Amino acid sequence: MLQINYIRENKEDVLARLSKKNFKQLELVDEILDLDHKRRSTQAQLDNVLSQSNTMAKSIGELVKSGRKEEIEKIKETTSLLKEDIKTLGEELAELEQLVHNKLVQLPNLPHASVPVGSTPEENDVVLTHGAIPSLPEGALPHWELAAKYDIIDFELGNKITGAGFPVYKGKGAKLQRALINFFLDNANELGYKEVQPPVLINEASGFGTGQLPDKEGQMYHVTEDNLYLIPTAEVPVTNLYRDEIVKEEDLPIKNTAYTPCFRREAGSYGAHVRGLNRLHQFDKVEIVQIVHPEKSYETLEEMSTYIQSLLQKLELPYRVLRLCGGDMSFTSALTYDMEVYSAAQGRWLEVSSASNFETFQSNRLKLRFRGKEGKPQLAHTLNGSALALPRIVASLLENNQTEKGIKIPAALVPYTGFEYID
């Protein structure tokens, strides 16, 4: 959530940056400022009336001592009227504060200066490309056919049990999943990320804190009777560990990692680009989350991007890094890097990770602050990244490493799988 003080003092900058993000409801900014003006005016009136009331209350004591009963009665009458004004102004102030809040939560985060202008994925900047595109043998298969050939992922069985987008992993397919999860967690641990195992159900306050609510209700599975939501990513519960907290400056950066299943209702179109593992309603992911000093957040984002790339290098997957344009960014992000791996059998790039800096957008919602030894609390910056999401990693590993002998497992992963080939 944007800070009202910044909007008030930097209106033109806010409008320009919202336009860069292709936000269409720019009139909201004026509506917010008008309501904020009324709120501050009402607050000033209330403060004035409270001051008068307090002054009169103190004077009654002196008048009692001097026995001036008539003056006491007049002051009591005035005080009674002031109490009515205090009640009315208090109600008006609460209503205006709620109206300002309701408008503020509709504004997305402001994009960083380095975010390119654009409205579609085709306008994202390619920051770098790494690795050679593999040359596959004749008759190479896409991963959904490989999964059936080696009996490692059953999409039809998942469809029978639950529905489309809920595959069943079997045999070496299940072991590959477990191996990747442990591989990603171990690498995060080695880099100083503390592992946590959070709930996969969240309440509304948690969804609001990281920006999923009220923006993405339709994309999350909702347990209506208990008013809980299945998480779309571990970012949500892990970041919310620090909701309503004031952390010590010397404890920054705070680094957490977590493995969770993730759930997304989003309906996809039909075709090869969403077949198999390309788009699922339930999938596994290892997430990294950092809470950092504002002066360190963009340096931290670069470090997170480099770390995620190191995982792809260890898995011997060709990849590229994109800096997302304004129109392709999430509601909450100030700057996002997407990492995509090349799927040789499908002949296209598949997104496997996003690393984002949210600056104070989430921490303002979360009331997540830090305090130095003598300073007053200030908002921290939050960041997160997928390190990594499994489905498209598995798809690319299967497709890019198919040989006549079977599917070759990358050397770094063999200690985790216990086998060198899926055959």
pLDDT tens, 229-242? 999 999 999 999 99
Q: Which two tokens stand for residue 116?
A: 């390119």
User: Cis peptide before 252, with omega less than 30 degrees from 0?
Assistant: no
Is 178 labelled a binding residue? no
144 vs 83 pLDDT, higher one: 144
Mean pLDDT along residues 69-85:
74
Please check whether residue 315 is in contact with residue 393, taking contact to mean a CB–CB distance below 8 angstroms. yes
**In terms of DSSP bridges, do strands 254-263 and 282-292 run parallel, antiparallel, or are they unpaired?**
antiparallel
Instruction: Assess whether pLDDT exceeds 70 at residue 271.
Output: no
Average pLDDT in the chain = 93
Instruction: Assess whether pLDDT exceeds 60 at residue 270.
Output: no
The winner for highest mean pLDDT among 51-65, 258-272, 311-325 is: 311-325
Is 287 labelled a binding residue? yes
Is 384 labelled a binding residue? yes
Is 55 labelled a binding residue? no
pLDDT for res 395: 97
Q: What is the pLDDT of residues 327-381, one digit of tens each?
A: 999 999 999 999 999 999 999 999 999 999 999 999 999 999 999 877 899 999 9
Which of 294, 302, 319 has the alpha carbon at shortest distance from 380? 294
pLDDT for res 79: 76
CA pair distance 202, 204, nearest whole angstrom: 7
CA pair distance 232, 225, nearest whole angstrom: 19
Which of 369, 272, 294, 313 has the alpha carbon at shortest distance from 112? 294
CA pair distance 278, 298, nearest whole angstrom: 30
Instruction: Assess whether pLDDT exceeds 60 at residue 396.
Output: yes
The CATH class for the domain spanning 121-422 reads alpha beta
**Residue 62 pLDDT grade (very low, low, confident, very high; cuts 50, 70, 90):** low
CA pair distance 211, 365, nearest whole angstrom: 8
Is 109 labelled a binding residue? no
Is 351 labelled a binding residue? yes
pLDDT for res 209: 97
Percent of the chain with pLDDT over 90: 86
Is 275 labelled a binding residue? no
pLDDT for res 83: 87
pLDDT for res 229: 97
Per-domain boundaries in the chain = 4-104, 121-422
71-74: long-range contacts (C-beta < 8 A, 24 or more apart)?
none
pLDDT for res 269: 47
Is 240 labelled a binding residue? no
Which amino acid is residue 189, in one-letter code? N
pLDDT for res 138: 87
**Residue 187 pLDDT grade (very low, low, confident, very high; cuts 50, 70, 90):** very high
**207-221, 238-252, 256-270: range with lowest mean pLDDT:** 256-270
The CATH number assigned to the domain with range 4-104 reads: 1.10.287.40
CA pair distance 69, 374, nearest whole angstrom: 50
pLDDT for res 216: 74
Is 8 labelled a binding residue? no
Same fold flag, 4-104 and 121-422: no
Is 352 labelled a binding residue? yes
CA pair distance 362, 382, nearest whole angstrom: 7
